[in-house]
């Protein structure tokens, strides 16, 4: 277990350093940082002085080491576009994205598991067929199209839900939450559904196929033979054994949710990190792009690491034998 | 002598057709036997049995055909700025009040005919999708063959890069490459630059899946007797990789490519929707939806609805075809 954890830790560190290298190369060599910071009428002497002060004349490895050290302290410099420290911008945007991602995950799991169980037990009912057809469409439709469709129905047509923004937010310490006001909750519904729909269909299909498999096994037949009620068999015995892969997939999908939040946040003008990243890409705001890249990489690597450990912990059948090729 | 030295039954066509024009002859031979096998196998049968798949194929062919023939069948030319008139802007579809029969599906905010723009936009979307799938499969195929055949340090290096890239969703990689390319080319405008950037961004985000699959098959194939025989008679590694092993990995690659085509089209539409894809002057479906989205609240639903419907239909049809192909070619997958 410990050897496994240490090896995974090394792999995670490798991924992080690679991503940091990419971020550094982009940061350092795409456009001249000096030109981005100063105005047109700065003299050449001032530019050279600034270049020396910022350490841009140092050897590249030294600069990379400094970049890494700064990144480890969450110092990513100043945004070219907004002229604020990148860390301050991210600290402001992060709660919005996290709340959205969690709401989407809760939606996906809360609806996906019951739907999966239902379609797994009642294979041939017409409701199952509807669920599966809807889930196929949900997988095929691009995220932004679903968002626009929801806006058209619930904002333009019915006029019951707001189409953009977070509503009113309440500040708790440094965290600005939209979960405590009615308008905030109302504003959360459509973005969370849009973001979570793909994951919901994924969970549904996964739970369904796992249920189908488990319901065929001998111990389920045996439970039936013992005369246990259907409910105890389906939920107590069958569902419990489908949950290991479901937990893994949900964990891994949490990263995808954060990445796809870029699209959802653009559609709903949700003031989170994804919208920040898109604006940074449109304006070639390299420090913000580099910081977002590193932060998302860290989240991904962290989630992968935790999921790997949980997986081994939960399912003792998984043997850790040497290095997989 | 070559033909006699090729004992594996999987390889006769490639080796037998080798003498006159090795490269082309080998491919044509492989294709002919593939076609014969296709007609004999139950692939065709399983295709005709599922009505949904036939429907999906018909829809795909119809959309691709309409996009291909866009310059011929489109009632207007959306790229011809001279023919545009702002007076025609925001015209609703012909059957709505205030509609104009010459603009069947209405016009956008610049007076462009929606139907014609959809035809041309689908053309752009398909071109980018197909080019990026070709790029991704060529790259993934070469790297996968190389990693699997040579092994050792090359293998470790390529697969490590693949692992790092697999940590992120493809859309994020595509966005990043797109963003960096935009930042580099910020002050230069190159003819067709946007098109190439998109193909590059999407192509480079999808190569990993091909590389991993191809590497896996290559690892098995390289120890088989026909490869050993080819090596013994002094055939170079490049030729062994691309002429002898390649035909054996084409099946899975074809499946991945079909599923990836739908993904690539959606990715392109998403990038365009996010405002970092094709510009409004040469719209793809995603760009049209982005532009139309701004007018959703003023009631001009047709600007979003028709391109959105086309995109959804195209993605769904290609997805269904890909799913069917995967199941049909791989009986192990239920």
- Measured CB to CB, residues of chain B less than 8 Å from chain A are 160, 163-164, 167-169, 171-172, 175-176, 178-180, 182-184, 186, 262, 266, 269-270, 273-276, 289, 293, 296-297, 299, 301, 304, 308, 311-312, 315-316, 319
Which residues are A269's β-sheet partners? Answer: none
Cα–Cα dist A267/A162, whole Å: 12
| Tokens encoding A125 | 């009912």
Cβ burial B270-300 (10 Å sphere, 16+ → b, else e): bbbbbbbbbeeeebbbbbbbbbbbebbeeeb
pLDDT tens-digit profile of B140-175? Answer: 999 999 998 888 888 888 888 888 787 777 888 888
Predicted local confidence at residue B35, as pLDDT: 65
Sequence-ordered list of residues with C-beta below 8 angstroms from that of B94, at least 6 positions apart, any chain: B100, B101, B103, B104, B105, B106
Cα–Cα dist B256/B326, whole Å: 8
Predicted local confidence at residue B142, as pLDDT: 92
Q: Which of residues 143-182 of A touch B (CB under 8 A)?
A: 143-145, 148-149, 151-152, 155-156, 163
Question: Residue B184: which of B172, B173, B195, B176 has the closest Cα?
Answer: B176
Cα–Cα dist A315/A321, whole Å: 15
Sequence-ordered list of residues with C-beta below 8 angstroms from that of A46, at least 6 positions apart, any chain: A38
Tell if the CB–CB gap between A281 and B182 is shorter than 8 Å: yes
pLDDT tens-digit profile of B291-332? Answer: 888 887 777 788 888 888 899 888 888 888 887 887 777 655
- ipTM comes to 0.78
Tell if the CB–CB gap between B168 and A142 is shorter than 8 Å: no
Q: What is the mean pLDDT of chain A?
A: 81
| Residue A129 in this model has a pLDDT that exceeds 80 | yes
Contacts of A141 in chain B (CB under 8 A): 312, 315-316
Task: Compute the half-sphere exposure of residue A301: CA atoms within 13 Å on the CB side of its CA.
Answer: 22
Cβ burial B93-102 (10 Å sphere, 16+ → b, else e): beeeeebeee
Contacts of A297 in chain B (CB under 8 A): 167-168
Q: What is the 3-state secondary structure (H, E, C) of A216-281?
A: CCHHHHHHHHCCCCHHHHHHHHHHHHHHHHHHHHHHHHHHHHHHHHHHHHHHHCCCCHHHHHHHHH
A102 burial via Cβ count (<10 Å: 0-12, 13-18, 19+): middle
Residue in A145, A263, A286 closest to B274 by CB:
A263
Question: Residue A148: which of B315, B275, B291, B118 has the closest Cα?
Answer: B291
Tell if the CB–CB gap between A263 and B163 is shorter than 8 Å: no
Contacts of B315 in chain A (CB under 8 A): 140-142
Predicted local confidence at residue B187, as pLDDT: 58
Tell if the CB–CB gap between A163 and B293 is shorter than 8 Å: no
Q: What angle do CA A86, A88, A89 make, to 5 degrees?
A: 65
Contacts of B304 in chain A (CB under 8 A): 148, 152
Q: How far is B270 from chain A (nearest CA, A)?
A: 7
**Consecutive H or E run containing A3:** helix A2-29
Q: Which residue has the tokens 């998109």?
A: B198
Closest chain A residue to B304, measured at CA = A148
Q: Residue A147 in 3-state DSSP?
A: helix
Q: What angle do CA B68, B74, B79 make, to 5 degrees?
A: 90
pLDDT tens-digit profile of A7-59? Answer: 888 888 888 888 888 888 877 776 666 766 666 677 777 777 777 777 777 77
The parts of chain B modelled with pLDDT lower than 50 are 1-28, 333-334
Residue in B171, B178, B312 closest to A141 by CB:
B312
Which residues are A170's β-sheet partners? Answer: A177
Residue in B164, B301, B308 closest to A18 by CB:
B164
Backbone angles phi, psi at A174, to 5 degrees: -90, -5
pLDDT tens-digit profile of B92-104? Answer: 776 777 767 777 7
| Residue A194 in this model has a pLDDT that exceeds 80 | yes
- Contact between B268 and B277 under an 8 Å Cβ cutoff? The reply is yes
**What are the distances in angstroms from CA B248 to CA B10, B23, B139, B233?**
8, 16, 17, 21
Q: Are strands A175-177 and A170-172 parallel, antiparallel or unpaired?
A: antiparallel
Q: How far is A286 from chain B (nearest CA, A)?
A: 8
pTM for the model stands at: 0.79
More confident residue, A61 or B4: A61
Tell if the CB–CB gap between B168 and A300 is shorter than 8 Å: yes
Tell if the CB–CB gap between A281 and B312 is shorter than 8 Å: no
Q: Residue B31 in 3-state DSSP?
A: helix
Tell if the CB–CB gap between A148 and B168 is shorter than 8 Å: no
Widest pairwise Cα distance in chain B: 77
Q: Which of residues 238-267 of A touch B (CB under 8 A)?
A: 255-256, 259-260, 262-263, 266-267
Any B CB within 8 A of A277 CB: yes
Provide, rounded to the nearest whole percent, the portion of chain A with pLDDT above 70: 91
| Tokens encoding A1 | 């277990």
| Residue A206 in this model has a pLDDT that exceeds 80 | yes
pLDDT tens-digit profile of A143-189? Answer: 888 888 888 888 888 888 887 777 777 777 767 777 777 788 888 88
Sign of the CA dihedral with A270 first, then A262, B294, and A104 last: negative
- Grade residue A237 by pLDDT with cuts at 50, 70 and 90: confident
Predicted local confidence at residue A198, as pLDDT: 86
Cα–Cα dist A132/A201, whole Å: 8
A92 burial via Cβ count (<10 Å: 0-12, 13-18, 19+): middle
| Residue A122 in this model has a pLDDT that exceeds 80 | yes
Rg (CA), chain B: 23
Q: What angle do CA A299, A300, A302 make, to 5 degrees?
A: 65
Sign of the CA dihedral with A255 first, then A257, A261, and A262 last: positive
Q: Which of A61-75, A89-103, A205-219 has the lowest mean pLDDT?
A: A61-75
Any B CB within 8 A of A18 CB: yes
Show the beta-strand stretches assigned E in A100-259: 170-172, 175-177
Sequence-ordered list of residues with C-beta below 8 angstroms from that of B139, at least 6 positions apart, any chain: B203, B204, B207, B210, B211
Q: How far is B306 from chain A (nearest CA, A)?
A: 12
How far is C-alpha A45 from the geometric centre of its chain's CA atoms?
45
Any B CB within 8 A of A13 CB: no
Tell if the CB–CB gap between B270 and A144 is shorter than 8 Å: yes
Widest pairwise Cα distance in chain A: 89
Tell if the CB–CB gap between B175 and A277 is shorter than 8 Å: yes
Contact pairs from chain A to chain B, CB under 8 Å? 109
Q: Please list the alpha-helical segments (H only) found in chain B.
A: 12-16, 22-40, 43-49, 51-68, 70-73, 114-150, 152-166, 170-184, 193-205, 207-221, 225-232, 237-239, 246-273, 285-293, 302-329
For A270, other C-beta atoms within 10 Å of its C-beta total: 27
């Amino acid at each position: 277990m410990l050897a496994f954890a240490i090896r995974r830790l090394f792999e995670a560190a490798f991924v992080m350093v690679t991503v940091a290298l990419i971020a550094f190369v982009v940061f350092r060599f795409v456009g001249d940082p000096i030109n981005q910071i100063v105005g047109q009428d700065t003299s050449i002497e001032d530019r050279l002085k600034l270049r020396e002060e910022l350490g841009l004349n140092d050897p590249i490895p030294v600069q990379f080491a400094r970049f890494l050290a700064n990144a480890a302290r969450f110092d990513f410099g100043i945004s070219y576009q907004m002229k604020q420290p990148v860390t301050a911008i991210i600290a402001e945007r992060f709660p919005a994205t996290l709340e959205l991602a969690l709401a989407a995950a809760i939606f996906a799991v809360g609806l996906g598991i019951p739907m999966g169980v239902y379609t797994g037990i009642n294979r041939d009912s017409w409701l199952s067929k509807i669920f599966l057809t809807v889930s196929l469409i949900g997988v095929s439709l691009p995220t932004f199209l679903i968002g626009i469709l929801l806006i058209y129905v619930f904002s333009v047509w019915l006029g019951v839900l707001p189409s953009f923004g977070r509503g009113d937010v309440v500040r708790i310490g440094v965290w600005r939450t939209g979960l405590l006001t009615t308008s905030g909750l109302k504003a959360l519904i459509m973005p969370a559904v849009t973001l979570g729909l793909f994951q919901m269909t994924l969970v549904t299909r996964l739970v369904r196929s796992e249920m189908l498999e488990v319901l065929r096994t001998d111990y389920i037949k045996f439970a039936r033979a013992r005369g246990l009620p259907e409910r105890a068999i389906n939920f107590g015995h069958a569902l419990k054994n489908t949950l290991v892969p479901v937990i893994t997939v949900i964990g891994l999908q949490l990263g995808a949710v954060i990445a796809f939040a870029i699209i959802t946040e653009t559609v709903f003008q949700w003031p989170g990190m994804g919208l920040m990243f898109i604006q940074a890409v449109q304006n070639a705001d390299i420090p913000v792009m580099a910081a977002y890249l590193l932060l998302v990489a860290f989240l991904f690597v962290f989630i992968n690491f935790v999921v790997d450990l949980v997986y081994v912990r939960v399912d003792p059948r998984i043997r850790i034998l040497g290095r997989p090729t | 002598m070559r033909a006699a030295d090729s004992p594996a039954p999987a390889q006769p066509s490639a080796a037998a057709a080798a003498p006159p024009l090795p490269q082309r002859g080998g491919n044509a031979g492989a294709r002919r036997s593939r076609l014969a096998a296709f007609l004999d196998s139950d692939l065709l049968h399983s295709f005709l049995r599922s009505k949904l798949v036939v429907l999906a194929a018909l829809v795909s062919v119809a959309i691709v055909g309409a996009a291909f023939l866009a310059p011929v069948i489109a009632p207007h030319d959306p790229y011809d700025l001279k023919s545009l008139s702002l007076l025609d802007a925001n015209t609703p579809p012909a059957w709505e009040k205030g509609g104009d029969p010459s603009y069947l599906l209405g016009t956008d905010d610049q007076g462009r005919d929606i139907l014609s723009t959809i035809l041309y936009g689908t053309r752009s979307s398909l071109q980018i999708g197909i080019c990026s799938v070709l790029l991704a499969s060529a790259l993934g195929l070469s790297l996968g063959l190389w990693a699997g055949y040579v092994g050792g340090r090359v293998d470790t290096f390529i697969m490590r890069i693949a692992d790092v890239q697999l940590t992120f969703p493809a859309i994020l990689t595509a966005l990043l490459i797109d963003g960096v390319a935009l930042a580099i080319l910020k002050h230069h405008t190159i003819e067709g630059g946007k098109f190439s950037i998109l193909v590059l961004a999407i192509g480079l985000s999808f190569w990993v899946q091909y590389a991993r699959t191809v590497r896996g098959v290559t690892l098995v194939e390289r120890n088989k007797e026909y490869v050993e025989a080819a090596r013994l008679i002094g055939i170079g590694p490049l030729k062994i990789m691309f002429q002898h092993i390649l035909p054996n990995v084409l099946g899975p690659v074809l499946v991945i490519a079909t599923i990836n085509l739908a993904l690539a089209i959606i990715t392109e539409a998403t990038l365009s929707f996010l405002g970092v894809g094709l510009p409004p002057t040469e719209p793809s479906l995603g760009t049209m939806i982005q532009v139309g989205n701004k007018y959703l609240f003023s009631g001009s639903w047709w600007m979003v609805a028709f391109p959105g419907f086309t995109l959804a239909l195209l993605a769904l049809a290609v997805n269904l075809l890909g799913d069917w192909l995967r199941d049909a070619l791989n009986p192990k997958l239920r």
